[in-house]
Chains A and B, each alone.
Chain A
Amino acid sequence: MARQQEPARPPARAPKSRAARRTAAAVTAALVAAAPALSAAPNAAADSDGADTLTIAASQPVDSLSPFLAQRLISTSVHRLAYDYLTNYDPETNEPIPGLAESWKTSEDGLTWTYTIRDGATWSDGEPVTAEDAAWTFTTMMEDAGAATANGNFVANFESVEAVDATTLRIELKQPQATMLALDVPIVPKHVWEDVGDYSSFDNDEFPIVGSGPFVITDHEPNQSITLKANEDYWRDPPKFDRLVFRYMPELDAQVEALRAGEVSFVSGLTPAQADALKGTENITVNTASGKRFQGFTINPGARTRDGEEFGDGHPALQDRVLRRAIMRAIDKDEIVESVYGGYAEAAGGYIPARYDTYHWKPDASQRLDFDPDAANEMLDEAGYERGENGVRVSPDGDPLKLRMHVHNDRPDYVAMGKLLVERLADIGIEVENRTVDPGVLSDALHSGEYDLIFTGWTVNPDPDYVLGIHTCGALPTEPGTMRSDAYFCDKDYDRLYKEQLAAYDDPEGRAAAVEKMQAILYDEAVVNVLTYADTLEAYRSDQIASIQVQPDPGGNIWGQDGHWSWSSAVPAADSRAGASVSPWVLAGAGAVVLVAAGAGVYLVRRRAAGAEDRE
């Protein structure tokens, strides 16, 4: 617009300005006419058919709609809504509760599990859900490598699975398994799936997708959105929202703007700055949840294979436990919480985040490696790490303490933590070479054992078996590069306790005690070092969502729950139907006005130009 007005300015061409002004006026008029129609931006919670719609901003596109293949959080979250699992997790306590299985029992030796499948559950095409469906799902994953892609680890220890009758499912195990009430495997309908030829490529995209969960997947626009409709026949309370839309928006700032505009009802994964900015905004509620993830770093204790063959080039002094513990004493976790996370985090104790009170462990006063640079310096002095000329210590074997530190360059919080670590370790005479690199480079360094300090972080499930298992000796690589772990940690006591907690499936207290002892070992050895549990920051439109379930309650998160509670329990706000959507005809009219005005403008400009030049 501005450009058309500019020729009007030179005083020498006075006659032009009138025409130009007329053009500008016409275009402005058209815009003003169109504005009211267009400004009714699509409201996330309202639809032309009057259904209550909940729109969620998603940072990832769906990788696959097949429960056998889907690995991303967005996909598994959608499957949680569309398929029931044998068990679920209590929204308030995270404890396992009945799902498709209404009850279960175990044999004496813990090797036989018998589940009773509930009677009233049906598939969305009307067929009943039976033990046969569950047995078929597990058996297919055991027999077909393609079907094992996403969840094969759950059935790796299964001996056999059998549907004794329509409501009884029996699973025989090779070894006792702690996760039998945490089998996060969507049960699929046998009558729909048994004719599929190749499970490694079947994308499950015939809509509506037959499922048994509180919602039914009705549409998927790849890389744009995925739409679910409430399942009115769901055996629990049917959802309050009629429709659920996950919209893919890769840019977090754009997500926040869409939330402000009311185009989406919910965003997650906010940065502390974004959360602070949204806190004062009208009609927006910010939810601060204790995190499921821990952030930390591991110290290379000397990479080796299961057979004890050493490889890599980790700094030899790091095999000394005293040095590793001194490093931990030099780091101020509270400083990280404040300056990296703006207070939206908790300084870490043990390996399992604080939100899981059953398993979370805190070191007691005598054990704690509190921030104390003087004590750390003293420890190193006593252990014979003399200061060199430039202030850098030298190990008793004569190696200067110059350590490499690998940091993920795609995680701003790790990058900020890395910078702090460099400063703090310099205080105790350790020189750190900060290698902030692509995650691929970092992963290569880890697997070849060519690192000293390396950042890490895991999302911990309500059942901690997996994150504990990766630090057993069995997780060491059979040959360099095949490691399951991320730390080359191996400790006999730890392994013994791991087996103990695995066998204590029927004794929650005994299991928790073993898990706490394992965390104490990790903490003492200072190979796997947890720094913080960052909060999960989320925000939603309180004028579209009246209430929503967090997990655990209170203090829990909305996105990425174990279970489908957030979306199946969300209650639409009373005025969520306000704000009619734009009728295509209004849009069309506005578009036509703009076109006509633009055409008229072009005509005027041309006539003016021709006229002006004739005069010259």
Chain B
Amino acid sequence: MAASESTRTGRSAAGTLPRRGRPGLHPAVRYLGGRVLTALVSLLAVMVTSFFLFRVLPGDPVSALTQGRSVSVEQLEAMRRDFGLDQPLPQQFADYCLGMLTLDFGMSYQYRVPVADLIAERIGPTLLLAGTGTVIAAILGLVLGTRAGWRRGSLMDRVDTGIALALWSVPSFWLGLLLIVLLASGVGLFPTSGMSSPGVEGTFAVALDVGHHLVLPVATMVAVVYAQYMMIMRSSVLDEMGSDYLTTARAKGLRDSLVLRRHAVPNALLPTVTLIFLNLGRVVSGVILIETVFAWPGLGSLFYSGLRVPDLPIVQALFVVFAGSVILMNLLADLVYPLLDPRVRT
């Protein structure tokens, strides 16, 4: 980063120096600094919100955890003490802030292990499922959207768009169950749920087993979300269709596919990139409903189980992690944009 900044500084210093009275601060640095600062402020706001947001939830964690079980009054008091719920609210808030700053998210009420461990355990499966799904959906959406835009009004465009929109409006929960009924318990092609079969050993066999389990949840997710990439890509391609530079490119004698690939698509990609980055940030929060139907051991189902109690340390930490990853990806998108689009650089 430092190297590229210095070269850019060298190139454009002459043109921009006189603009503001802050010698030494290059616009690129200021751009970068401004974005990072905004991100940090958002993150801080999220952390504060997280504490108060979940304390508004109805219900008492201690009575929810012990519901229907025989417990003595002493046990209830001991649990309250353990969770720090006997402290006054300002004290709890101070403890929470100190913990957050040192990345200590506290102990889960229901599992009695550090929340950081739980998140570390669950983040892998979620990234695998939602990451794979997002990548496939984005690629599929881009390809189909480009084709649909390029040949707008054709039968292919109408059929593809129709299918995509129909799937977009299907509840993921229902589609997942349908796939289980048809392909898993019906035809028996895939396992009905879970991430792996117990007792499988060896790296290769495990990878294959997980891949086998991954097919249906990813297919569900892709089917439901690819429409948004497709529609955005389609409309961006449409926006570029009438541009003069395309006519020029054709006049040069380029083949139609080259005009599309080398000229139209790169320009049409920008809005989709923003969308992809936004969604990459949301990958961490997973796909709660799909994780539930397929018993996928990810962060989404952890969040759900935390909300039920409410298991405050879990939901607080996950809220910050989810929001944090969206903020981080937005920041990255801001930083990548100048590289993709020269117009943003100045």
Q: Of residues 43 to 76 in B, which have CB atoms within 8 Å of A's CB atoms?
A: 57-60, 63-76
Q: What are the nearest 7 A-B pairs in CB distance?
A: A440-B59, A440-B58, A223-B297, A584-B205, A261-B185, A466-B70, A257-B185
Confirm or deny: A573 has a beta carbon within 8 angstroms of a beta carbon on chain B. no
A6-B156, A6-B160 known; A152-B305 Cβ under 8 A: no
A484 touching B73, Cβ below 8 Å: yes
Q: Select from chain B the residue with minimum beta-carbon distance to A245.
A: B198
A38-B190, A222-B297, A257-B180 known; A591-B111 Cβ under 8 A: no
Which of B64, B79, B187, B295 neighbours the largest number of chain A CB atoms within 10 Å of its CB? B295
Which of B57, B70, B71, B297 neighbours the largest number of chain A CB atoms within 10 Å of its CB? B70
Confirm or deny: B170 has a beta carbon within 8 angstroms of a beta carbon on chain A. no
Confirm or deny: B102 has a beta carbon within 8 angstroms of a beta carbon on chain A. no
Chain A: interface residue total (CB-CB under 8 A): 73
Q: Select from chain B the residue with minimum beta-carbon distance to A588.
A: B208
A10-B155, A249-B295, A251-B292 known; A152-B188 Cβ under 8 A: no
B156 touching A223, Cβ below 8 Å: no
Confirm or deny: B310 has a beta carbon within 8 angstroms of a beta carbon on chain A. yes
> Given contacts A224-B297, A263-B192, A584-B208, could you give 17 more A-B pairs where the C-beta distance is less than 8 Å?
A9-B155, A38-B188, A41-B188, A71-B65, A152-B78, A153-B71, A153-B75, A156-B72, A224-B196, A225-B194, A247-B198, A250-B295, A254-B294, A258-B193, A261-B185, A440-B64, A584-B205
Q: Select from chain B the residue with minimum beta-carbon distance to A200.
A: B82
Contact with B along A239-267 (1 / 0, CB 8 A): 00000010111110110011011010000
Stretch at the interface among A164-172, A496-504, A514-522, A606-614: A606-614
Q: Of residues 287 to 345 in B, which have CB atoms within 8 Å of A's CB atoms?
A: 292-295, 297, 301-302, 305, 310
Whole-angstrom CA separation of A19 from B45 in the bound complex: 56
A152 touching B310, Cβ below 8 Å: no
Confirm or deny: A221 has a beta carbon within 8 angstroms of a beta carbon on chain B. yes
Q: Select from chain A the residue with minimum beta-carbon distance to B59.
A: A440
Whole-angstrom CA separation of A447 from B156 in the bound complex: 62
Q: Of residues 169 to 201 in B, which have CB atoms within 8 Å of A's CB atoms?
A: 177, 180-181, 184-185, 187-200
A-B pairs with beta carbons under 8 A, tally: 186
B113 touching A587, Cβ below 8 Å: no
Q: Of residues 482 to 497 in A, which have CB atoms within 8 Å of B's CB atoms?
A: 482, 484
A223 touching B66, Cβ below 8 Å: no
Q: Select from chain A the residue with minimum beta-carbon distance to B176.
A: A254
Contact with A along B252-291 (1 / 0, CB 8 A): 0001110000000000000000000000000000000000
CB distance from A247 to the nearest CB of B (A): 6
Which of A149, A466, A609 neighbours the largest number of chain B CB atoms within 10 Å of its CB? A149
B113 touching A203, Cβ below 8 Å: yes
A261 touching B122, Cβ below 8 Å: no
A64-B111, A250-B295 known; A447-B198 Cβ under 8 A: no
| Contact with B256, one of A253, A461, A588, A613 (Cβ below 8 angstroms) | A613
B180 touching A254, Cβ below 8 Å: yes
A38-B212, A61-B305, A253-B177 known; A7-B156 Cβ under 8 A: yes
Whole-angstrom CA separation of A456 from B68 in the bound complex: 10
A and B contact pairs by CB, cutoff 8 A, 11 listed: A6-B159, A10-B155, A38-B189, A148-B74, A149-B78, A152-B75, A153-B70, A224-B195, A254-B177, A261-B184, A584-B200
Please give, as numbers and ranges, the residues of chain A lying within 8 Å of B111 by CB-CB distance: 63-64
CB distance from B132 to the nearest CB of A (A): 15
Whole-angstrom CA separation of A61 from B121 in the bound complex: 14
Whole-angstrom CA separation of A283 from B102 in the bound complex: 56
Whole-angstrom CA separation of A447 from B64 in the bound complex: 12
Confirm or deny: A603 has a beta carbon within 8 angstroms of a beta carbon on chain B. no
Please give, as numbers and ranges, the residues of chain A lying within 8 Å of B257 by CB-CB distance: 609-610, 613
Confirm or deny: B163 has a beta carbon within 8 angstroms of a beta carbon on chain A. yes
Please give, as numbers and ranges, the residues of chain A lying within 8 Å of B59 by CB-CB distance: 438-441, 443-444
A152 touching B71, Cβ below 8 Å: yes
Contact with B along A425-453 (1 / 0, CB 8 A): 00000000000001111011001000000
A148-B78, A149-B78 known; A201-B192 Cβ under 8 A: no
B155 touching A3, Cβ below 8 Å: no
Please give, as numbers and ranges, the residues of chain B lying within 8 Å of A334 by CB-CB distance: none
| Contact with A222, one of B70, B121, B144, B205 (Cβ below 8 angstroms) | B121
| Contact with A3, one of B144, B184, B310 (Cβ below 8 angstroms) | B144
| Contact with A250, one of B68, B76, B292 (Cβ below 8 angstroms) | B292
Whole-angstrom CA separation of A559 from B240 in the bound complex: 63
Whole-angstrom CA separation of A443 from B107 in the bound complex: 24
Please give, as numbers and ranges, the residues of chain A lying within 8 Å of B196 by CB-CB distance: 221, 224
Confirm or deny: B211 has a beta carbon within 8 angstroms of a beta carbon on chain A. yes
A254 touching B295, Cβ below 8 Å: yes
Q: Select from chain A the residue with minimum beta-carbon distance to B81.
A: A145
CB distance from B270 to the nearest CB of A (A): 24
Confirm or deny: A336 has a beta carbon within 8 angstroms of a beta carbon on chain B. no
| Contact with B208, one of A66, A254, A591 (Cβ below 8 angstroms) | A591
B295 touching A145, Cβ below 8 Å: no
Confirm or deny: B202 has a beta carbon within 8 angstroms of a beta carbon on chain A. yes
| Contact with A482, one of B73, B144, B211 (Cβ below 8 angstroms) | B73
Whole-angstrom CA separation of A131 from B19 in the bound complex: 86
CB distance from B223 to the nearest CB of A (A): 11
Whole-angstrom CA separation of A64 from B160 in the bound complex: 49
Confirm or deny: A35 has a beta carbon within 8 angstroms of a beta carbon on chain B. yes
A71-B66, A152-B75, A443-B59 known; A227-B199 Cβ under 8 A: yes
Contact with A along B141-154 (1 / 0, CB 8 A): 00010000000001
Whole-angstrom CA separation of A64 from B195 in the bound complex: 21
CB distance from B228 to the nearest CB of A (A): 17
Please give, as numbers and ranges, the residues of chain A lying within 8 Å of B192 by CB-CB distance: 254, 257-258, 261, 263
Q: Select from chain B the residue with minimum beta-carbon distance to A477.
A: B73
| Contact with B295, one of A251, A459, A616 (Cβ below 8 angstroms) | A251
Please give, as numbers and ranges, the residues of chain A lying within 8 Å of B156 by CB-CB distance: 6-7, 10
Confirm or deny: A90 has a beta carbon within 8 angstroms of a beta carbon on chain B. no
Please give, as numbers and ranges, the residues of chain B lying within 8 Å of A263 by CB-CB distance: 191-192
| Contact with A249, one of B63, B163, B194 (Cβ below 8 angstroms) | B194
Please give, as numbers and ranges, the residues of chain A lying within 8 Å of B184 by CB-CB distance: 41, 257, 261
Confirm or deny: A42 has a beta carbon within 8 angstroms of a beta carbon on chain B. yes
A443 touching B60, Cβ below 8 Å: yes
Whole-angstrom CA separation of A441 from B292 in the bound complex: 24
Please give, as numbers and ranges, the residues of chain B lying within 8 Å of A245 by CB-CB distance: 198
Q: Select from chain A the residue with minimum beta-carbon distance to B58.
A: A440
Whole-angstrom CA separation of A47 from B199 in the bound complex: 8
Confirm or deny: A366 has a beta carbon within 8 angstroms of a beta carbon on chain B. no
Please give, as numbers and ranges, the residues of chain A lying within 8 Å of B235 by CB-CB distance: none
Confirm or deny: A311 has a beta carbon within 8 angstroms of a beta carbon on chain B. no
B193 touching A249, Cβ below 8 Å: yes
Q: Select from chain B the residue with minimum beta-carbon distance to A456.
A: B68
Whole-angstrom CA separation of A153 from B189 in the bound complex: 49
B112 touching A201, Cβ below 8 Å: yes
| Contact with B185, one of A251, A260, A482, A614 (Cβ below 8 angstroms) | A260
Confirm or deny: A107 has a beta carbon within 8 angstroms of a beta carbon on chain B. no
A145 touching B78, Cβ below 8 Å: yes
Confirm or deny: B9 has a beta carbon within 8 angstroms of a beta carbon on chain A. no
Confirm or deny: A413 has a beta carbon within 8 angstroms of a beta carbon on chain B. no
Which of B59, B65, B122 neighbours the largest number of chain A CB atoms within 10 Å of its CB? B59
Q: Select from chain A the residue with minimum beta-carbon distance to B197.
A: A42
CB distance from A584 to the nearest CB of B (A): 4
Whole-angstrom CA separation of A3 from B227 in the bound complex: 14
B256 touching A201, Cβ below 8 Å: no
CB distance from A227 to the nearest CB of B (A): 6
Confirm or deny: A367 has a beta carbon within 8 angstroms of a beta carbon on chain B. no
Confirm or deny: A524 has a beta carbon within 8 angstroms of a beta carbon on chain B. no
Q: Of residues 202 to 254 in A, which have CB atoms within 8 Å of B's CB atoms?
A: 203, 219, 221-225, 227, 245, 247-251, 253-254
Please give, as numbers and ranges, the residues of chain B lying within 8 Å of A71 by CB-CB distance: 65-66, 69
CB distance from B117 to the nearest CB of A (A): 10
Q: Of residues 160 to 219 in A, which have CB atoms within 8 Å of B's CB atoms?
A: 200-201, 203, 219
Q: Select from chain B the residue with minimum beta-carbon distance to A466.
A: B70
B188 touching A261, Cβ below 8 Å: yes
Whole-angstrom CA separation of A54 from B65 in the bound complex: 30
